[in-house]
Amino acid sequence: MRQKLIVGNWKMHGSQRLVKELIQGVDAGTEELSDNVEIVVSPTLLHLGLASDICKAGRIKLAAQNLHNEPQGAFTGEVSAPMLAEYGVSYIIVGHSERREIFDESDQLVAAKFMAAQSSGLTPILCLGESLEQREQGASEKVVIKQLAAVIEAAGISALQNAVVAYEPIWAIGSGNSAQPEEINSIHKLIKDIVQSRFSSLDLHGVIYGGSVNIENASQILKEEEVDGALIGGASLNGEEFAKIANIFNELKEL
C-alpha cells in the first residue's frame, strides 16, 4: 500500500528547547490522525538523539537530513547510515537541492547516499526538481527524469520499492510560490509512470511534493490524486501549523 507522508525538514534550525516544543506540539496536534498518515520530522543531526528519546513512545518518525555514503572511515565531520539507524532514524533525505547546490552533490553522489541509506534499512526520501532557469527553458521534466535515472542506474529499479520520492522544484523552495497543483500532479504521474514502466509490479512508497507548502495552499496541493504527501520546510517550524497540514491531508484523502 502506498504510504502517505507529511515530512518536516527543520534544516539548520532549532535548539534543544525548540526541538522539544515542536515535537510536543506536533504530537498533540496529530493525536486524532489515522495511522495511514506517517508523520516525520527531520531535526539537525545534532538534535537527532534528543528527538529520538522524545519520539520513542509516540507516533512521530525521524528523518536525517544528510549522511555520508560510506559506513565508516576517516571522513571528519561526517555521519553514516549505520550510526543514524542506531538512533532510531527511519528516513533519510537525499538529494535536497540545498545539498546539490550549496554542497555540490552530484547525481552520482546522491545515488551513492541513496544506496547507503537502504543498506542500513533506512528509507531514502529522494528529492528531485528543476531550477527556475530550467523551468523557463521548459526542461522541468527532463531534469527530473535525469535525476531519477541516475539513481535507477546505480541502485537498480527495484531499489525504488523502498523509497519515497519528493518532487521539489528549486524555485518553489522557501520562496512562498508553490508550483500549481496540476503541474505537481503531472510531474508526480511522470515519476510513477517511469518507475512502473521499468518494473510493472513496483509501487513506490509515495511521491510527495515540497516547495512552499503552508496552511493556505495545503488543501489545493494535497488533494491532487498523485500527491502522496508533502515535504515541508518553513511551515514545519510551527508545530501547530505543521499538525494542521497533516490533519487537512488526512481528511482530504479520507483515510
Contact window for ligand PEP (CB under 6 A) among 39-47, 57-65, 179-187, 229-237: 229-237
Q: Is 168 a known active-site residue?
A: yes
Q: Do 188 and 209 form a contact (C-beta atoms < 8 A)? A: yes
Q: Environment class of residue 138 by beta-carbon count within 10 Å: exposed (0-12), middle (13-18) or buried (19+)?
A: exposed
Contact window for ligand PEP (CB under 6 A) among 117-125, 152-160, 182-190, 231-239: 231-239
Say how far apart CA 43 and CA 50 lie, in whole Å: 10
Residue 197, C-beta contacts closer than 8 angstroms, at least 6 positions apart: none
Nearer to ligand PEP, 81 or 213 (CB): 213
Q: Is 212 in the site for ligand PEP (CB under 6 A)?
A: yes
Q: Do 113 and 92 form a contact (C-beta atoms < 8 A)? A: yes
Contact window for ligand PEP (CB under 6 A) among 30-38, 73-81, 204-212, 242-250: 204-212
Q: Is 64 in the site for ligand PEP (CB under 6 A)?
A: no
Nearest to ligand PEP by Cβ — which residue?
233
Can you list the positions of beta strands (E) in 71-122? Answer: 91-94
Q: Could you tell me which of 115, 140, 113 has the C-alpha nearest to residue 128? A: 140
Contact window for ligand PEP (CB under 6 A) among 23-31, 55-63, 191-199, 232-240: 232-240
| Active-site residue identified among 38, 47, 68, 96 | 96
Q: Which of 48, 126, 213, 222 binds ligand PEP (CB under 6 A)?
A: 213
Q: Is 129 in the site for ligand PEP (CB under 6 A)?
A: no
Site for ligand PEP in 133-192 (CB under 6 A): 168, 173-174
Q: What single letter denotes the amino acid at residue 243?
A: A
Say how far apart CA 152 and CA 86 lie, in whole Å: 27
The least distance separating ligand PEP from the CB of residue 169, rounded to whole angstroms, comes to 9
Q: Do 123 and 163 form a contact (C-beta atoms < 8 A)? A: yes
Say how far apart CA 211 and CA 120 lie, in whole Å: 28
Say how far apart CA 170 and CA 101 lie, in whole Å: 10
Q: Which of 231, 243, 245, 246 binds ligand PEP (CB under 6 A)?
A: 231
Q: Is 232 in the site for ligand PEP (CB under 6 A)?
A: yes
Nearer to ligand PEP, 34 or 126 (CB): 126
Cell matching residue 240: 501547530
Q: Residues with catalytic annotation?
A: 96, 168
Q: List residues near ligand PEP by CB under 6 A.
A: 9, 168, 173-174, 210-213, 231-235
